[in-house]
Structure 1
Amino acid sequence: MQGEQHYQDAWQTLSEQEDNDKLKEKLAKDNGLIYIAINCKKLDSDLIKQYMNGSILFKLFKMKEEDWRIILEMAEKNITKEICNYYNSVTHVFKDICQEFHTNKTTLRRYIKRGVEIGWIKDYYGENGKAARSFHKAVLIYKEETLLKRCSSINLARDWLENNCGIKVTNVTVKNHCVSRKPIGDYYICFETVNG
Structure 2
Amino acid sequence: MRGDKTRQEILEAACELFIQNGFHATTTRQITEKINLVPGALYNHFSSKDVLFEAVLKEYHPWQKIPEALKEAKGSTIQEYIRDASAKLLKIWDQHPELIRLHLIDMLEFNGKHLPVLFEETYTKISKIVEEAQSHEDGLKGVNMNLLYRAIVGLFFGYIMSDKAMVDIDSPFSEGGFDYFADTYLLGLFAQGNPKIAKEELGKS
Instruction: Return the TM-score normalized by structure 1.
Output: 0.31
Larger relative contact order (C-alpha < 8 A, sep ≥ 6)? 2
Q: Which is strand-richer, 1 or 2? A: 1
Q: Which is helix-richer, 1 or 2? A: 2
Instruction: Return the TM-score normalized by structure 2.
Output: 0.31
* Structure label with greater radius of gyration: 1
